[in-house]
Amino acid sequence: MPIAPPAKPRRGWRETLSRLAFYATRVRWRPWKNLLIRWFISHYLVDMSLALEPDPSAYPDFNAFFTRALRPDARPVDPDPDSLLCPVDGALGEFGAIRDGLLLQAKGHRYSLAQLLGGDPIHAALFRDGSFATLYLSPRDYHRVHLPDDGRLLEMIHVPGRLFSVRPRLLTRVDSLFARNERVISIFDTAHGPLAMVLVGAVMVGGIEQVWAGRVTPPRGAEPRRWSYRDGDPEIRIARGQEMGRFSMGSTVIVVAGGALDWRAALSSDQTVRMGEALAHHAAVHDPR
């Protein structure tokens, strides 16, 4: 499959809504933000007992509430160091082996690994015989993203693109959706091989942040942006289960591992998963550089 250039961002209704969402969710006028937060909790049945700050009125704006931290005991981490952790709360989409450089988007629909990773064949080669898992975050879910394995950050790429909705029912309607939407890709070296974390933007997603860089988007820009951390002093290392980033409003995370995985028994698409539980076990171990 030839590698197409990244989809150029457009200024249509999706982009306008997303820009408005960015600003509306950061308004600090108390009547507005309290009304919005309480409506959201009631509409989506959010369990505030799990939040580190359970008082809805204590959040300075809606975005702070939406990206709220959980209690330290709310999401225990699987203790087996050879297990690949679930990085988010959400619904598991497609998962499995990468075949012929393609990932499964939905039944009968595949898309290019190289395209997903920003069109770089060198990056794609790292994961040629690898595995992937797609995880969808609904509005009611916890929206911080955690690293599935101990990792050293090598590179980050912001790929501008479209802002199609990532709701599961649309995955059979938009070809190569995840490789066409805006996304932020972080590539790590781990004891189990290379690991890519792809945070996919969507309509109404007001921003994507990383703990080492702060807000990456907006601004959206028109061309890919790249940051190298290979020679960083000090190195950026993130522990297994530690927060690595967050979404302002919901979207999708795609985990791409460089080796084969033994998936947890009885794991299935559309299954509800929680951050910290094991998705799979690594089939092999290598020495990171």
Active site residues: 89, 146, 251
Strands (E), the chain: 83-85, 90-97, 102-106, 109-112, 131-136, 144-146, 151-159, 183-190, 193-200, 207-210, 214-217, 225-228, 237-238, 243-248, 252-257, 261-263, 272-273, 278-282
Whether residue 169 contacts residue 209, with contact meaning beta carbons closer than 8 Å, is answered with no
b/e per residue 278-288 (b: at least 16 CB within 10 A): bbbebeeeeee
In angstroms, rounded to a whole number, what is the distance separating the alpha carbons of residues 175 and 164? 11
3-class DSSP assignment, residue 135: strand
Whether residue 204 contacts residue 17, with contact meaning beta carbons closer than 8 Å, is answered with yes
